[in-house]
Homo-oligomer: A and B are copies of this chain.
């Protein structure tokens, strides 16, 4: 593990997700078993596609949030395992549909399901996993948890449509962009963290703390993802530098560069993002402009801002190993870009 110089905090060791992984390892084994069992079907294509995504090496951050945020209150039952699995299925369903919507060829360096089994199967298996997610939630029997997760499902889809409407529109404001990622990414982080205290019968204040932590962690996570797409240590990201650019996605580094740029630069962004002139030479130029205006660094700065809110959100909770691990995850998300 290396040492990095973090400008605002002096020297510290690179943050790690490992404490969270270790603390939730036993329950994550049950989550993984449940994933395999609930993605099962006599219709062969369903487990094939589900396993393709599930085995593709995601960090499973979302289900770990659910587990830790229940276990920090001493919860020891089975409900949080079911809800964590539901959360992961909702996420997987979203990825399947997203890849269809974005016409993506690769995810985490592997062919997307749609490239192997086609768009049709990706849409339908996504629907199946969403249905299975709801069945598991119903099985848990908490109307509060159902309320939070079903609302998240609507909000996520609404956010995706919002993004589609704003797609390739360089006039998108930073506020509008934040509304999109609040819906499409932060809503599931938030729900994942809030259902933990619910099944653990924690207090309303504790629920609120974890909901706020999840929302702000999700915002930071997405902004770092956006920054990584234009550089940084992309090896743990599993996507290639420039994917967003080549898909014409309007993310924060682009929004800031467009706003801060000259007329000539704005014309470049129009051609690249709206006009599809987004080859490697254009990508190089885009990164050059971003460096000139510090828009990647400023995107990371915005992420740090939300990370700090997430940190303060957990302040009222009593100190537990889980709380420490969740705090370290904030830095881990941000350090990805160091």
**Which residues from chain A sit less than 8 Å from chain B, CB to CB?**
41, 43-46, 97, 100-101, 119-121, 123-125, 127-128, 130-132, 134-135, 137-139, 141, 143, 146-147, 150-151, 153-158, 160-162, 164-165
Contact = CB atoms under 8 A, between A and B. Distances in A.
A135 B151 contact: yes
Nearest to A155: B131
A137 B44 CA distance: 30
This chain's copy number in the assembly: 2
A49 B101 CA distance: 16
Interface centre among A121, A125, A127 (most CB of B within 10 A): A127
A87 to B, nearest CB: 14
- Which of A44, A124, A147 has the most chain B CB atoms inside 10 A of its CB? A124
A249 to B, nearest CB: 13
A165 B44 CA distance: 9
Contact of A125 (B44, B135, B161): B161
A113 to B, nearest CB: 12
Given A131-B156, A138-B146, 13 more contacts: A46-B158, A46-B161, A97-B124, A100-B120, A124-B157, A124-B160, A127-B153, A127-B160, A128-B157, A128-B158, A131-B157, A135-B154, A146-B146
Contacts of A150: 131, 134-135, 137-138
B124 A101 contact: yes
Contacts of A123: 97, 100-101, 123
Contacts of A100: 119-120, 123
A131 B97 CA distance: 14
Given A146-B146, A153-B130, A161 B124 contact: yes
Contacts of A43: 158, 161-162, 165
A106 B85 CA distance: 38
Given A120-B101, A165-B45, A154 B128 contact: yes
Identify which of A41, A43, A146 gathers the most chain B CB atoms within 10 Å of its CB: A43
Given A43-B158, A138-B143, A151-B135, A164 B101 contact: no
User: Chain A at the B interface: mostly helix, strand, loop or mixed?
Assistant: helix
Given A138-B146, A151-B135, A161 B130 contact: no
A130 B161 CA distance: 14
A153 B131 contact: yes
Contacts of A156: 127, 131
Contacts of A41: 158, 161
A205 B127 CA distance: 31
Contact of A45 (B44, B135, B153, B164): B164
Contacts of A138: 143, 146-147, 150
A295 B155 CA distance: 47
B143 A131 contact: no
A52 to B, nearest CB: 14
A155 B132 CA distance: 9
A45 B125 CA distance: 24
Nearest to A148: B138
A157 B101 contact: no
A170 to B, nearest CB: 19
A41 B139 CA distance: 30
